[in-house]
């Protein structure tokens, strides 16, 4: 009995010492320091980012450009020394390539119009001209016999008001800690109003297009014109028609100022005429989109996995830099850092660049479905998808049990400005697909900078909006997070 008690006491002392060490240290301090040093002094992030945006460009789901990006990122993972590098395809449908879009007001006077066609809409058959007609979802049946050859305005213009809050700013401590809601408080009232207005416009457009699509071809308008609904001539691509739907009339998004002008002129009852030429091309040789996958194999528990992810696809009005070239290049750089420091994680760290996020998290849904039997072995999924700003905190999606774990593991990153852990949710990105299967899924909160109000899905989403030091910090945070979660004695607790 004395021997048993002695051994029991010894075990309790060992466990207490181990628990104390974990509470005090949490992270693998030495490897974390190496990760920080490698990321700060030897970063290749911007070199790779320039290739992605300048040599490949926008990466619409299902397009040849996205496939090129998949293949190029796979080659980089191999170059770093990652294992099991491959592409996984999932059925998507038609690809699409944007062509020129020219147009002008011809009556009552001449004016060059600022617009782009929405993705997955056909072009015009050469230069077309005709009258401008006002309609909306309630009036479409009344006008259906009068639309052939016309330019249809899809309802009244949006309400666009000035936002009196500064846009490009850092998050303050209180903005992350005080209110655990879906969005940080750093979104201004003006941004919230603009977002609500865009949602209204998108629903209106989708309903109208569905009605027009079911009209006989010889009764459809020449072009449907929608209001971009953004200030200062910003255009947005995310109201695009369903890529799986049958072709209908060409649809364009027009700068709010020009759309409102056409609407006011038409409402006056004067003759308003427009001419346009739009050239778009569908790509039907490959109906799949792809996820790029690579990993660093775990040395003790290789069947248990920590996933770092971001979506590689983008809209195509610009280069797709902040959404989400930034997250993709941070994941790529995190893989490079971990291989460069010789990291030997206990569990496998898997890197996934998803496709089809912009059309409804399609790539991550496809991955989860294809690997359903493996979900119980995924410890956690960590995604970066809100632009170029520094990673400032991690919302635990209501999973209280992981908060003390993250606070210990991420403590060494505080000097980098990564400060907070709370229960806040992040919405609208690929960790959601894993959460739906019970896997702990998380998305890093970042400084908003100009993401939601300027670059998000617009023609300004270009490489010059990237803040290299911020994004390098994000890559370091991702690498350190994945490594230290992979080193935990057990997998992360489920919610």
pLDDT tens digits, 61-103: 999 999 999 999 999 999 999 999 999 999 999 999 999 999 9
CATH of the structural domain 99-279, one choice from 3.40.710.10, 3.50.30.30, 1.10.10.10, 3.30.565.10? 3.50.30.30
The pLDDT score that the predictor gives to residue 452 is 82
Higher pLDDT, 178 or 23: 178
Is residue 398 scored above 80 in pLDDT? yes
The pLDDT-based confidence of 319 (bands split at 50, 70, 90) is very high
Mean of the pLDDT values across residues 3-29?
Answer: 46
DSSP character for 414?
G
Higher pLDDT, 472 or 231: 472
| Cα distances (Å, whole numbers) of residue 316 to 270, 286, 289 | 36, 19, 16
Is residue 341 scored above 90 in pLDDT? yes
The pLDDT-based confidence of 189 (bands split at 50, 70, 90) is low
Whole-angstrom distance, CA of residue 280 vs CA of residue 248: 13
* Burial of residue 91 (number of CB atoms within 10 Å: 0-12, 13-18, 19+): exposed
Question: Which residue bears the tokens 């000035």?
Answer: 162
Six-digit token string for 237: 């691509």
274, 151 Cβ separation under 8 angstroms: yes
Six-digit token string for 74: 């796979």
Is residue 358 scored above 50 in pLDDT? yes
349, 296 Cβ separation under 8 angstroms: yes
Whole-angstrom distance, CA of residue 213 vs CA of residue 136: 14
Coil/strand/helix, residue 338: helix
Query: How many whole angstroms from its chain centre is CA 51?
Result: 19
Mean of the pLDDT values across residues 309-317?
Answer: 97
Higher pLDDT, 310 or 144: 310
Higher pLDDT, 428 or 371: 371
Q: Please give the sequence-ordered ranges of beta strands (E in DSSP) within 148-232, or none if there are none.
A: 151-154, 223-227
472, 333 Cβ separation under 8 angstroms: yes
The pLDDT score that the predictor gives to residue 138 is 60
Find residue 393's DSSP bridge partners.
420, 445
Q: Tens digit of pLDDT for each residue in 464-482?
A: 999 999 999 999 999 999 9
Find residue 226's DSSP bridge partners.
253
Residue 5 host element (H or E): helix 2-24
Q: Tens digit of pLDDT for each residue in 323-337?
A: 999 999 999 999 999
Six-digit token string for 378: 């995924």
The pLDDT score that the predictor gives to residue 168 is 65
Mean of the pLDDT values across residues 434-446?
Answer: 96
184, 427 Cβ separation under 8 angstroms: no
Alpha helices (H) in 45-171, listed in sequence order: 45-50, 64-80, 140-143
| Architecture of the domain delimited by 25-95+285-486 | 3-Layer(aba) Sandwich (3.40)
- Please count the other Cβ atoms lying within 10 Å of the Cβ belonging to residue 1: 5
Of the listed ranges 19-23, 218-222, 354-358, 380-384, the least confidently predicted one is 19-23
The pLDDT score that the predictor gives to residue 21 is 41
* Burial of residue 57 (number of CB atoms within 10 Å: 0-12, 13-18, 19+): middle
The pLDDT score that the predictor gives to residue 177 is 55
The pLDDT score that the predictor gives to residue 181 is 43
Higher pLDDT, 3 or 448: 448
Mean of the pLDDT values across residues 104-117?
Answer: 98
Question: Which residue bears the tokens 């911007």?
Answer: 46
- Residues carrying CATH 3.50.30.30, the chain: 99-279
Six-digit token string for 256: 């709010």
Whole-angstrom distance, CA of residue 9 vs CA of residue 17: 12
Is residue 224 scored above 70 in pLDDT? yes
- Residues carrying CATH 3.40.630.10, the chain: 25-95+285-486
308, 478 Cβ separation under 8 angstroms: yes
Is residue 186 scored above 60 in pLDDT? no
Is residue 347 scored above 60 in pLDDT? yes
The pLDDT score that the predictor gives to residue 302 is 98
Query: What mean pLDDT value characterizes the chain?
Result: 88
Whole-angstrom distance, CA of residue 290 vs CA of residue 90: 6
Alpha helices (H) in 274-419, listed in sequence order: 326-340, 362-370, 403-409
Whole-angstrom distance, CA of residue 360 vs CA of residue 357: 5
Q: Answer whether the bond into residue 212 is a cis peptide, omega within 30°.
A: no
The pLDDT score that the predictor gives to residue 191 is 63
Mean of the pLDDT values across residues 188-201?
Answer: 69
Longest distance between any two alpha carbons in the chain, whole Å: 102
């Amino acid at each position: 009995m004395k021997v048993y008690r002695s051994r029991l006491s010894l075990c309790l002392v060992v466990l207490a010492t181990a628990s104390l060490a974990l509470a005090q240290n949490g992270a693998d301090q030495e490897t974390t320091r190496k990760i920080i040093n490698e990321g700060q002094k030897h970063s290749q992030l911007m070199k790779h980012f320039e290739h992605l945006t300048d040599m490949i460009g926008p990466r619409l789901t299902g397009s040849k450009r996205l496939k090129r990006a998949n293949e190029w990122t796979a080659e980089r993972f191999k170059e770093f020394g990652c294992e099991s590098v491959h592409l996984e395809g999932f059925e998507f449908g038609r690809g699409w390539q944007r062509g020129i879009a020219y147009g002008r007001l011809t009556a009552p006077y001449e004016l060059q119009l600022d617009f782009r066609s929405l993705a997955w809409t056909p072009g015009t058959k050469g230069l077309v001209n005709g009258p401008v007609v006002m309609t909306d979802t309630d009036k479409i049946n009344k006008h259906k016999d009068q639309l052939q050859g016309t330019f249809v305005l899809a309802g009244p213009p949006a309400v666009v008001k000035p936002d009196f809050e500064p846009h490009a700013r850092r998050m303050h401590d209180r903005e992350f800690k005080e209110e655990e809601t879906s969005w940080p408080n750093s979104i201004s009232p003006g941004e919230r109003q603009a977002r609500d207005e865009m949602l209204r416009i998108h629903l209106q457009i989708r309903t109208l297009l569905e009605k027009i699509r079911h009209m006989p071809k010889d009764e459809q308008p020449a072009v449907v014109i929608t209001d971009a609904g953004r200030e200062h001539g910003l255009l947005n691509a995310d109201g695009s028609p369903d890529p799986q739907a049958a072709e209908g009339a060409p649809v364009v998004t027009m700068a709010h100022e020009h759309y409102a002008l056409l609407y006011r002129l038409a409402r006056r009852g004067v003759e308003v005429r427009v001419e346009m030429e739009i050239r778009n091309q569908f790509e039907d040789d490959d109906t799949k989109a792809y996820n790029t996958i690579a990993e660093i194999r775990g040395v003790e528990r290789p069947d248990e996995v920590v996933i770092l992810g971001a979506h590689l696809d983008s809209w195509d009005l610009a280069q797709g830099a902040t959404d989400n070239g930034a997250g993709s290049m941070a994941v790529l750089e995190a893989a490079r850092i971990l291989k460069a420091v010789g990291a030997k994680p206990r569990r496998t760290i898997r890197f996934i660049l998803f496709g089809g996020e912009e059309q409804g998290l399609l790539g991550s849904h496809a991955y989860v479905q294809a690997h359903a039997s493996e979900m119980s072995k995924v410890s956690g999924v960590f995604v970066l998808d809100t632009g170029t700003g520094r990673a400032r905190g991690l919302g635990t999606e209501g999973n209280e049990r992981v908060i003390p774990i993250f606070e210990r593991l991420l403590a060494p990153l505080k000097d980098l400005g990564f400060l907070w852990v709370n229960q806040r949710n992040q919405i609208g990105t690929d960790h959601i697909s894993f959460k739906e299967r019970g896997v702990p899924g998380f998305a890093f909160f970042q400084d908003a900078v100009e993401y939601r109000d300027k670059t998000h899905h617009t023609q300004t989403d270009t490489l010059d909006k990237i803040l290299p030091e911020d994004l390098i910090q994000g890559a370091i945070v991702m690498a350190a997070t994945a490594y230290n979660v992979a080193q935990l004695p057990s997998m992360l607790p489920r919610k």
